[in-house]
Structure 1
């Protein structure tokens, strides 16, 4: 049970969905930010951007956000959940491009602290072909997901244990994005 009464059935609206329903005036900007970062125009695919969100959420041990964005990434990557699991288990050997690996290393640094990002991280990403916009967006996705993770976990919301719950939400996100309410 959440730390506060969200006025919703958490089994129907788990994780971030309950707090977003509780405060619709903050839900709009938060959902718009997610739409821009994860679905807007970019040279990084939607699946790659969702993978960054999932990776940061996993590092933050935010079960709901990690499982959600892992499912969303898997639904939009040709390699599906296998590559998401590889990144979570061993980023160094995961079957991803060197550029994405370098960007995920930047995201890992941001997850610890923005000050952890070094010129070496940036140069490594550029050496693999990352653009300044891709580096910018990686930093912003990582920073935003630290906020989203703390929002979800700070309110003590429910995180379903059944992976099917996340897979069901994935199709809605792929089809409609974050700004169209679920349920």
Structure 2
């Protein structure tokens, strides 16, 4: 049960969905940010960007965001949920590109604190082929998901049924993050 009365049935609107219904005026810019970061034009695939979101959310132990974005990544990555789970368990041994591994290291550093992102981490990502835009967007995805994770958990919202995440993944892929809730 959320810490505040959201005025919705939280079982039908778990996690951030109920929060977005509670404050639609904040939902619009948050949805727009998620769309730009996770679905907008980029050399990183939507699946890779969702994987970054799931990874950071896992590090933050945000059950709703971890599980929802894991499902969203799995639906868009050829290797599906097994890959997502491998990355979340240990990015260093997961079967991903060296570039993505280096970007996940940057995301993990952002999660600890912005100043933990060092020039060495950025140079290591660039040495593996990461572009300035990919580094920028990785930092912003990680920072945004620290905010989203704290928003969801700070108001004590409920996680969803795991099957709901699979259904939501199809909706997100087809429609994006605008109008969630």
Give structure 1 regions of 4+ aligned residues with deviation exceeding 2 angstroms.
none
Structure 2 distance, partners of 1:5, 1:112, is 31
Structure 2 distance, partners of 1:143, 1:133, is 15
Structure 2 distance, partners of 1:179, 1:166, is 17
Instruction: Describe how 1:118-129 pairs up with structure 2 within 5 A.
Output: 118-129=118-129
Q: Which residue of 1 aligns with 2:25?
A: 25
Structure 2 distance, partners of 1:88, 1:43, is 22
Structure 1 distance, partners of 2:178, 2:143, is 20
Pair 1:147-2:138 in alignment: no
Q: Which residue of 2 aligns with 1:178?
A: 177
Q: Which residue of 2 aligns with 1:168?
A: 167
Q: Which residue of 2 aligns with 1:61?
A: 61
Q: Which residue of 2 aligns with 1:50?
A: 50
Equivalenced residue count is 181
Q: Which runs of 5+ in 1 are unaligned?
A: none
**CA-atom RMSD in angstroms:** 0.8
Structure 2 distance, partners of 1:169, 1:181, is 10
Structure 2 distance, partners of 1:59, 1:34, is 19
Instruction: Describe how 1:78-97 pairs up with structure 2 within 5 A.
Output: 78-97=78-97
Structure 2 distance, partners of 1:89, 1:117, is 21
Q: TM-score, normalised by structure 2?
A: 0.98
